[in-house]
Structure 1
Amino acid sequence: MYIRIIIVVLLMLTLSTCATSPTGRSQLIFMPDDEVDAMGLQAFNNLKSEKPISNNRRVNQFVQCVATAITAEVGGNWEVIVFDDASLNAFALPGNKIGVHSGLVDLVDNQDQLASVIGHEVGHVLAKHSNERMSQKLGAQVGVSLIAAVAAPQTALGQTAVSLLGVGAQYGIIMPFSRLHESEADNIGVEIMAKAGFDPVESITLWRKMAQASQGGHPPEFLSTHPSHGTRIEDLQTLMPKAMELMRKAHAVGKKPDCVK
């Protein structure tokens, strides 16, 4: 039995696609994209049925405006939901699903700060980080089980499956993206927001606000598994010259988002 499992795993790894992330990093990914997308859809539907959804028209218009400008740069049809939740959190799932908590909307000062968070989360999806860590952590032999388990998030395997997608904190368990994934999503996200015409400098302001929000207590859920504030800010500052040039080019062709909080 064990020999058979080993053979299956080796065969899957041999046939797997050596993918390349948007930053040019080599990735080992063997789970089919359509199956990971199906998991993201199921997880998102679970959240919509279990968490209250905001009916604040102003908040929804603001979030939709920012998300539309961001996703226009990457293509595809994206579903965006604002959850009525005071925690500072946002996420994007395979299958083009974006969730934003109302608490995060309350924290940001402007469209650019929200764009930095949504761009970061979309960066995770574009780089297939969920698929990559599923492939790395669980192996080919449990892939099919995961796809079924995500429909039952209260089970042990279901919690693991959902956490691997990036929304594990919703079910009391977190299996965080690696710091490499987080830094890569920052890199991708700041470029996306700049290409959409948002001011990338505000991404630094946003993370400083997050750092202040985490002082004297538990860190915001969104930051609990992310790199240190100082490291993130230093990295973003390094990216600013290129990002500012991308923003100027976007403005030159008329991309000037006007999303009012």
Structure 2
Amino acid sequence: MRFGPRLLMALGAAASLLAACDSAPITGRSQMMLVSESEERQMGLQAYQQVLSKEALSHDAQVTALVDKIGRRIAAAAERPPGELWRAPRFRWEFKTVDNKEPNAFCLPGGKVVVYTGILPITRTEAGLAVVVGHEVAHALARHGAERMSDQMVAQVGATAAGVALAATVGGSNRRYVPMMMAALGAGATVGYLLPMSRAQESEADRIGLVLMALAGYDPREAIGVWERMRAANTGKHTAEWLSTHPADSTRLADIRHWLPEAMRYYRPRD
């Protein structure tokens, strides 16, 4: 029995997609990964270097030390999963503070976390800042950057050609896909297939982040106050949830309250 080239391509793509399945920590959500961990780390590093070349790092020694301290504690928790809840990552963690009034923070693949000073009035305390850093470390732990890029690859080339695209895109040494990585992390996404997945990842990072900060000795109940203050700061800047890459504030708060008992099981206060 002979198969036509289109059918063979479709079968190859299906096999590639099935082979690329993974599961997210804590949630167990099925993930499609068409980007290897080494490619993800390399592209994340290049994107990180591009970001730092354009941003002004904070010269406040106290603030930068605090961000680094919190980051190291949470990263250490990520690297020592209790009961093999997830596979320990192999990242070279970095935590940088950028002098920018925008209330923002983000994580690039491979454990490169950037915190803007504009978020500090909202986080207020060390535990409050741990909420944000835990969320960003969770993005790295769950490999959301690679997953978003994989989604974008499929959206661009079509599912039936994904097997061919794999060999041409990921397997090669071409690094022109760094802009795609940046786009996959928030810029240029389109309503429809990509944005709902992004919202799912943001909610997932909230849940994983609560567990991570608890394991690091920070009270996960601080997340309620942080997101309430974030909601207040967003007053007058409302974006419909179905057009947003983040869950609506009311949805996020309800979910966090639901997940708190899970996180509290791992919480042991530290000095």
1:185 equivalent to 2:201? Answer: no
Q: Aligned partners of 1:200, 1:129: CA distance in 2, in Å?
A: 22
1:91–1:100 Cα contact (<8 Å) kept? yes
1:179–1:226 Cα contact (<8 Å) kept? yes
What is the percent sequence identity of the aligned residues?
A: 35
1:41–1:94 Cα contact (<8 Å) kept? yes
Q: Normalising by structure 1, what TM-score?
A: 0.80
Give per-residue Cα distances to partners, 1:162-213, cap 9 Å, x unaligned.
Answer: 121x2x45xxx45655221111111100011011111111101000000000
Give per-residue Cα distances to partners, 1:78-112, cap 9 Å, x unaligned.
Answer: 11111111111111111111111111123321011
Q: CA deviation at 1:145?
A: 4.7
Residues 38 and 5 of structure 1: is their aligned pair in 2 closer, same or farther, counting only changes over 3 Å? Answer: farther
Partner of 1:200 in structure 2? 220
1:104 equivalent to 2:119? Answer: yes
Correspondent of 1:79 among 94, 97, 107: 94
Give per-residue Cα distances to partners, 1:203-231, cap 9 Å, x unaligned.
Answer: 01000000000112467xxxx62101111
Partner of 2:87 in structure 1? none
Gaps of 5+ in 1: 152-157, 257-261
Partner of 2:135 in structure 1? 120
Q: Aligned partners of 1:83, 1:142: CA distance in 2, in Å?
A: 36
1:239 partner SS = helix
Partner of 1:259 in structure 2? none
Correspondent of 1:20 among 11, 23, 28: 23
Gaps of 5+ in 2: 80-90, 155-161
Q: Normalising by structure 2, what TM-score?
A: 0.77
Matched residue count:
234
| Alignment-mate amino acid for residue 95 of structure 1 | G
| Alignment-mate amino acid for residue 22 of structure 2 | A
2:59 partner SS = coil
Q: Aligned partners of 2:206, 2:59: CA distance in 1, in Å?
A: 30
2:175 partner SS = helix
Partner of 1:154 in structure 2? none
1:86–1:104 Cα contact (<8 Å) kept? yes
Partner of 1:148 in structure 2? 175
2:114 partner SS = strand
C-alpha RMSD over aligned residues: 2.5
Residues 225 and 18 of structure 1: is their aligned pair in 2 closer, same or farther, counting only changes over 3 Å? Answer: closer
1:59–1:105 Cα contact (<8 Å) kept? no
